[in-house]
Structure 1
Amino acid sequence: MRAELGKRRYLFSDESGDLQCRTSTNVSKYFAVGTLLIEEDELARLRSEMAALRDELAWSNQGLDSCFHATEDSYVVRDRVFNLLQDFDFRVDVTLLQKNKAQPQVRRDEPTFFKYAWYFHLKYLAPQIFQEDDEVLIVAAELGTKKVRKAFRGAIEDVMSQCLHFRVKRTLAFWRDESDFALMAVDYCLWAVFRKWERGDETNYKKIEDKVRTEYDLWGVGTTAYF
């Protein structure tokens, strides 16, 4: 039996926007890191109820190709998922980086920019949510090729060593989006927050607003645009 010295926490994460730092109609204004913190019992309930919803939607001819994904799901499916998420106890935190305000050394390549985003996200968040002797499983959505995942894994591991107390036992995993309903939940929540910032659309954001503990515009007070 595991000694109850600290809590076992689950932090599911996702990113929104692209990592391209240039001006184009197909390039996002922001890049965002979002996390969903949830406890074991609530995670088990979330997984169970989202699985039941997927079955129910399939039986009503609202079948999914693989998993819930906010950008691709129909309005009917998306509405049902947001309504379900309203009933759960978890916290969402989002850090947004307005890319044209990033200094050149921050955006010299995509892994570097990605690492900065994660660093500032965890630097602020970790002291608020983790205590000594906690155990945390950080689950990130799988990204790109094996080479890309290796670079991003190294970036997150380095950030964790800098931002988490040395007595917080942490494990990092990269899982495919369709492998866990909690990754689908953070995808939905981050999508709603990102649309609010990128497009000014708060329609779905309002449904999960009470879950969103922080929305941090990292360079919000900056006035210098580099491109």
Structure 2
Amino acid sequence: MSKKYLFSDEAGCFTFNRNPNVSKYFIICTITLSDLAVAADLVKLRREMIWDGSPIGDYFHATVDKQEVRDRVYEEILKHDVRIQATICEKAKAQPHVATSKAEFYKRPWYYTLRYGIAPHVSAGDELLVTAASIGKKTTIDLLHKIG
């Protein structure tokens, strides 16, 4: 039996039309770790980069960080045993009964992520601590409980 940590974030919206500024995809990305050493090493890297005068913001974020910062962050992450999984759903292909509500749609990518992306790598008896980014943290937690 071992402890594992899963962190998740989502991208995309729950609008099912093809208007401008509406996402075409809904994505769930997870990272699974067997320990949290990468967190301490990223904090250490951040401090080093501050001392070096590197162009960093309040926190690491790939969409706003300069390439040199991203390169060093990814280099650090690759030193650790991490598993990254992305479930990408093309919203236009959702069956009509699935697109009836946010909850009805939302539970499906999570089901596929957990069933096919995460479960094969978690053994019986393992403990999994799930930390989901907030799309509405209460909604996320309620839906995850309904799936499980």
Task: Tell me the TM-score normalised to structure 1 length.
Answer: 0.60
Instruction: Classify the secondary structure of the residue corresponding to 1:51.
Output: helix
1:200 is matched with none
Aligned-residue CA RMSD (Å): 1.8
Paired residues of 2:8 and 2:31 also in contact (CA < 8 A) = yes
Letter in 2 for 1:73: D
Letter in 2 for 1:108: T
1:103 is matched with 95
Note the C-alpha offset of 1:92: 1.1
Note the C-alpha offset of 1:94: 1.4
Note the C-alpha offset of 1:63: 4.9
Which of 156, 172, 183 is equivalent to 2:144? 156
In structure 1, how many angstroms separate the alpha carbons of the residues matched to 2:28 and 2:130? 13
1:31 is matched with 26
In structure 1, how many angstroms separate the alpha carbons of the residues matched to 2:13 and 2:74? 24
Paired residues of 1:111 and 1:152 also in contact (CA < 8 A) = no
Structure 1: state its 5+ residue gaps.
1-5, 162-227
Which of 72, 75, 82 is equivalent to 2:64? 72
In structure 1, how many angstroms separate the alpha carbons of the residues matched to 2:137 and 2:131? 13
Structure 2: state its 5+ residue gaps.
none
Residues 15-74 of structure 1: per-residue CA shift (max 9 Å, x gap):
12333222133222211112111112xx22x11210111112222333544211111212
2:49 is matched with 57
In the TM superposition, structure 1's runs of 4+ consecutive aligned residues that sit over 6 Å from their partners are none
Distance 1:76 1:24, change over 3 A: farther
1:1-227 mapped onto 2 (5 Å cutoff): 6-40=1-35, 43-44=36-37, 46-143=38-135, 148-159=136-147, 161=148
Note the C-alpha offset of 1:126: 4.1
Paired residues of 2:57 and 2:65 also in contact (CA < 8 A) = no
Distance 1:66 1:32, change over 3 A: same
Note the C-alpha offset of 1:76: 2.0
Note the C-alpha offset of 1:8: 0.9
Note the C-alpha offset of 1:111: 2.8
Letter in 2 for 1:136: L
Structure of higher RCO (CA pairs closer than 8 Å, 6+ residues apart): 2
Note the C-alpha offset of 1:136: 0.9
In structure 1, how many angstroms separate the alpha carbons of the residues matched to 2:120 and 2:13? 28
In structure 2, how many angstroms separate the alpha carbons of the residues matched to 1:58 and 1:51? 11
